[in-house]
Amino acid sequence: MTYPNGGDLLVQVLREAGVDTVFGVISVHNLPLVEAVAEHLRFVPVRHEASAVNAADGYARARGGLGCALTSTGTGAGNAAGALIESLATGSSVLHVTGQVELAYLGSGRGFIHETQDQLGMLRAVSKQAYSICSTGNAGMILRQAVREALAAPGGPISVEWPIDLQYAKHASQPEATTSTTAEQVPDEADVLALVDLLHRAERPLIWAGGGVTRAGVELQVLLEALGAGLITSNSGRGAVPEDHRLCIGNYGTSPVVQTLLDDSDLVLSLGTHFRSNETGDYTLRLPGSHVQVDLDPAAPGRVYPVRLGITAEIRALLSAVLSRLETPARPQGSWAERIEDTRRAVRSRQREALGEHAVFADALRAALPRSAVVARDVTIASSSWGNRLLEIYDPTDNVFPRGGGIGQGLGMGLGAAIGRPDGPTVVIAGDGGLAVHFGELLTLAQERPHLVLMVFNDGGYGVLRNMQDGAGRRHAGVDLTTPQFETLARSLDLPYRRIGDSSEVRSTLEKAVADGGPVVVEIDLGSYGEMPTPFTPPVRVPQPEPQTDNQSENQTDGEVRGND
C-alpha cells in the first residue's frame, strides 16, 4: 500500500493502536502530519507543546492505552521536554512525534530555521527511547516500533523526529497490527513457591501497592481477601482496589497509626512501588524484617528497604501464579482484619480533623460524580492534602496527577482525559498559581468544550510554599502573585462560571457544575472560605539551624516539615 505522505502513514499506525485523537501545536515542520490527522482523526490544537504531551499523557492514562502528541522541531521539541519527563516518571504510554529540518541540512550547522543542536540526544534524555526517521522506507517500521515500546511495561514516552521533506514524500508500507509487547512474563517457579510459603505462614500480612499494580487490580483484590491482608498504597497505586474496600487503608503510609500497624505486621509484600521519599517520610518509615518486594526493574528490590525476598516479575503474572498455588484454609484473621478496618477509619478521621471544613470538598465531589469519573489533579494544596488521599478513587484510570511533582500540568492532563473519556465528567483540581503556568489551555477548553469541571483554588499565589515560609518565620518571597478576576476571564471565553466562598455552598455548587454537562470554571475563593485548621506543608526536609550557645559553632541539623495526615 502507498500512502500519499507521512501524515497518512501516521494516521494508519495510530488507528492500529486504537488512537482517535492527537494533541499538538501546528508548525511548518509538522504540517503534513497535522493535516492528515485533522482530516481522518481528531486534532486538538493546544496552545503549548508541553500541554500537547500532558494531554496525550492524560488521554493515555484515562483510556489505559496510547496517547499521541505532535510538536515542531527545535524550540517546539524543547518545550515538550518537561512534560516528557513527567510521562517518563509515570511510565505513561505516549508517542511523541516531532518535526525535523530537511534531511539534507540536518546536522549541517547552518542555522537552518527551527534546527537545534542534537535534538535526538535531547529527546533521548527525556524519553524512554527516541528515534529518527531517515528514509521513507523505514518510517512505518519506526513508528510501529515506537508504539510497541511505549505500550510495553513499564511504559513511557517514545519520541520520533521526522524530517519535513520525508513527511511530504510518498510512503510505501504494508499495514501491520500494532500490539503491545506487554505479554506477561512467566515468573520464576522458585520465587512463586517461596512467596506462597511466606504467605501461608503470615498471620498479620500487609500489602504495599504502587503504580505497578494498575493492571493487576482483580488479582490483587482476590489476594487481599484470601489473606485478610491490609492494603497500603502509594499515590500511583490508588484505585487498583476500590478505595471503599474494607481492607484498603489507602495512601496513608506516613500516618503514625499506619506505622504502628507496620510495626506489628509479620509480612509486608510490596508490589511495583519505588517507595518515594514523600510517601515514606524521607525514608524514615519502618518496614518489618519480613519484606518481599516485587518489581519489573531488577534493581528495585532492596534499593530503599532491605528485603527477605526480591522478585523480578510482571505483577499480574506473579499474582496469578501465587493465587493458583495458594491454599486458604480458615485462619484466625478476625482481630487483624478488625485492626485494619480500625486503622482505615482512624487515618481518615485524623485527616478530617486537620482539614476542617475543607474535608467537605472530598465528600461533595464523590456525591456529585458518578463512580467512574476521572479526577485530574495539579500540584496544589487541595490535591496534596485531601485530593491525593481522602477523595476516594475506584479505578486506576480515574487517577490522573503529575507523579513527577511538576506544577501546572493538571489542566493539560485533564483536557486529554476528558476528550479521551467523553461519556462522563472529568474534574480538574488546580491552584491559581499552577493554572497560570499554562493559562493558554483555557482557550483550548473553550474551543473543544469537553465535559470538564475546572476547580480553581484561589489563594493569590503559591500557598504550599507560603505556608512553609510562614511556618519558618520567614518573609514571603516569590509566593504572592497577581491573579485574574476568574469570573471575568471565564466570561470572556464563553465558559460558565461558578464561585464557592463558604462550605455551605460546596455540595450544591459542585452538583450543578457536574450537571452542566460541559466545561465550567468553579472558583474556590480561599480568602473568603478560610484556611485549614492545620496549614498544609509538603513532606520534605528543610534544614533548620540549631539554637546557638556560646560554645556552639554554626553547625546545622536537619529539621522536618510535615503535612497533615
- Cα-based distances in Å from 254 to 21, 105, 275, 342, 559: 39, 55, 11, 16, 17
Supply the pLDDT for residue 396. 97
Question: Does residue 341 form part of some domain?
Answer: no
Q: How far is C-alpha 406 from the chain's CA centre?
A: 11
To the nearest whole percent, how much of the chain has pLDDT over 70?
91
Answer yes or no: do 262 and 207 share one domain.
Answer: yes
Answer yes or no: do 248 and 285 share one domain.
Answer: yes
Helix (H, G, I), strand (E, B) or coil at 199: helix
Domain harbouring 255, CATH code: 3.40.50.1220
**Which band of pLDDT confidence, cut at 50, 70 and 90, is reported for residue 273?**
very high
Asked whether residue 186 carries a pLDDT value surpassing 80, the answer given is no
Supply the pLDDT for residue 468. 85
Asked whether residue 110 carries a pLDDT value surpassing 80, the answer given is no
For residue 66, give the nearest of 143, 120, 121, 8 by alpha carbon.
143
To the nearest whole percent, how much of the chain has pLDDT over 90?
79
Asked whether residue 71 carries a pLDDT value surpassing 80, the answer given is yes
**Which band of pLDDT confidence, cut at 50, 70 and 90, is reported for residue 115?**
confident
Answer yes or no: do 164 and 220 share one domain.
Answer: no
Cell of 337: 482484619
Supply the pLDDT for residue 174. 60
Answer yes or no: do 168 and 252 share one domain.
Answer: no
Domain span at 120:
2-172
Supply the pLDDT for residue 561. 33
Answer yes or no: do 256 and 154 share one domain.
Answer: no
Mean pLDDT of 183-203: 89
For residue 120, give the nearest of 151, 77, 90 by alpha carbon.
77
Question: Does residue 41 form part of some domain?
Answer: yes
Long-range contacts, 467-471 (Cβ 8 Å, 24+): 467/381, 467/535, 467/536, 467/537, 468/537, 468/538, 468/542, 468/561, 470/535, 471/535, 471/537, 471/561
Answer yes or no: do 157 and 256 share one domain.
Answer: no
Task: Tally the domains of the chain.
Answer: 3
Supply the pLDDT for residue 546. 63
Answer yes or no: do 105 and 144 share one domain.
Answer: yes
Answer yes or no: do 89 and 207 share one domain.
Answer: no
Supply the pLDDT for residue 548. 52
Domain harbouring 88, CATH code: 3.40.50.970
Q: Pick the range with the lowest mean pLDDT from 36-40, 72-76, 487-491.
A: 72-76
Supply the pLDDT for residue 472. 82
Mean pLDDT of 446-469: 93
Answer yes or no: do 68 and 150 share one domain.
Answer: yes
- Which amino acid, one-letter code, is at 96? H
Mean pLDDT of 108-137: 87
Answer yes or no: do 21 and 66 share one domain.
Answer: yes
Q: To 10 degrees, what angle do helices 49-63 and 410-420 make? A: 50
Helix (H, G, I), strand (E, B) or coil at 362: helix
What is the greatest pairwise CA distance in the chain? 84
For residue 243, give the nearest of 355, 354, 398, 382 by alpha carbon.
398
Residues 473-489: tens digit of each pLDDT: 889 999 889 999 999 99
Question: Does residue 336 form part of some domain?
Answer: no
Mean pLDDT of 173-177: 58
Pairing of strands 497-500, 205-209: unpaired
Mean pLDDT of 541-555: 53
Supply the pLDDT for residue 545. 61
Q: Quick check: pTM over 0.75?
A: yes
Question: Does residue 148 form part of some domain?
Answer: yes
Answer yes or no: do 357 and 433 share one domain.
Answer: yes
Q: Which residue has the higher pLDDT, 542 or 265?
A: 265
Supply the pLDDT for residue 178. 47
Distance CA 429, CA 500 (A): 14
Mean pLDDT of 534-545: 74
Q: Pick the range with the lowest mean pLDDT from 137-151, 324-338, 353-367.
A: 324-338
**Residue carrying C-alpha cell 476528550:** 419
Domain boundary among 113, 145, 172: 172
Residues 363-398: tens digit of each pLDDT: 999 999 999 999 999 999 999 999 999 999 999 999
Question: Does residue 284 form part of some domain?
Answer: yes
Answer yes or no: do 354 and 297 share one domain.
Answer: no
Distance CA 297, CA 274 (A): 10
Asked whether residue 116 carries a pLDDT value surpassing 70, the answer given is yes
Mean pLDDT of 12-21: 97
Residues 554-563: tens digit of each pLDDT: 332 233 333 3
**Residue 314, Cβ density class (10 Å: 0-12 exposed, 13-18 middle, ≥19 buried):** buried
Residues 291-343: tens digit of each pLDDT: 999 999 999 999 999 999 999 999 999 999 999 999 865 454 579 999 999 99
Quote the DSSP letter at residue 384.
I
Distance CA 416, CA 411 (A): 9
Q: To 10 degrees, what angle do helices 359-368 and 506-515 make? A: 30
Supply the pLDDT for residue 211. 94
Contact call for residues 434 and 408 (beta carbons, < 8 A):
yes
Question: Does residue 558 form part of some domain?
Answer: no
Rg (CA), the chain: 25
Q: Is the dihedral of CA 353, 355, 360, 365 positive or negative?
A: negative
Distance CA 537, CA 554 (A): 26
Pairing of strands 540-545, 556-561: antiparallel
Asked whether residue 172 carries a pLDDT value surpassing 90, the answer given is no
For residue 417, give the nearest of 59, 63, 43, 52 by alpha carbon.
59
Cis check: omega of the bond before 154, within 30 degrees of 0: yes
- Cα-based distances in Å from 381 to 75, 151, 181, 277, 387: 32, 32, 38, 18, 9
Supply the pLDDT for residue 126. 96
Q: Pick the range with the lowest mean pLDDT from 11-25, 32-46, 334-348, 537-551.
A: 537-551
For residue 182, give the nearest of 160, 163, 154 by alpha carbon.
154
Mean pLDDT of 222-228: 94
Average pLDDT for the chain: 91
Mean pLDDT of 438-452: 97
